Structure 1
């Protein structure tokens, strides 16, 4: 695996190093010892899948706060998504900075998201699937988020004439409305 630090403190891109032969290829995508050598938690206790029916679906920006703050490993297992992370840790050198990545089934690239960093994505193809591995189980009472289009944050999303966003995500507060969220 190839670990590449991102602009967001503690977040990493992780690319497999496939071994190819006439059958195809084989690659490790998680190894606890290798993750630990990079200071990352690979003890994933919950795994989830987001299946998306068309291009233009936007989910985010989500995180779990307090005692349920989680690390996540996210990858596209079908299709292509525009994946975004946003640092909400007040004590971080990259506080309120965001970074976007293209994740695809073809590349098998993953992004490791530390505690206190919100996550969202927009589908770029039909029938995309995002696979999440989390270090803490989902906790509805700790589940929070920020508006995907908060002007004070300024995330640049791909243009989309027919974007689909859930009522829940449309009702998320802006940073100003949330009194400067600090998830952990």
Structure 2
């Protein structure tokens, strides 16, 4: 998906995925130590970044959509927090290593050939003993029609993800159904892959 695709996607006046954090991030955020430096990957309009900033973390978001990043700034100011935004193509550019105490990604969908690069960049950005937390749609999501990419090429396979994270301590891994009501783009029961690993 191109920068143009995501700019167009986020150009709606509404926050297309809502302003509230993802349920899985809400459930797992207490793992992140107080006053951590957190990187949010493929963060779109910033709902998870702003939530983490409100918890007292120092948050940096990465996305290729400048419109998404502008909406992140707007949402942050509405909530009286600061979030650093970085425009980057996460399928081509690696984020600086060993800088965060934790990293998160919610529904960061990229083509199959770029998925490992994105996940490894996210893991590498975290310092030893830090946490990586993410939730993505699985290939099975196509049958649900409740959000996410319309192509299996943009969805994740659980075996791939297990291979990419196998060298780290797995705290949580889930492959199955989850109910997600996030704005107007994620509505109802879907099929997800969730992971929490410790570096």
**TM-score normalised over the length of structure 2:** 0.28
| Larger strand fraction of residues | 1
RCO higher in structure (CA 8 A, sep ≥6): 1
**TM-score normalised over the length of structure 1:** 0.29
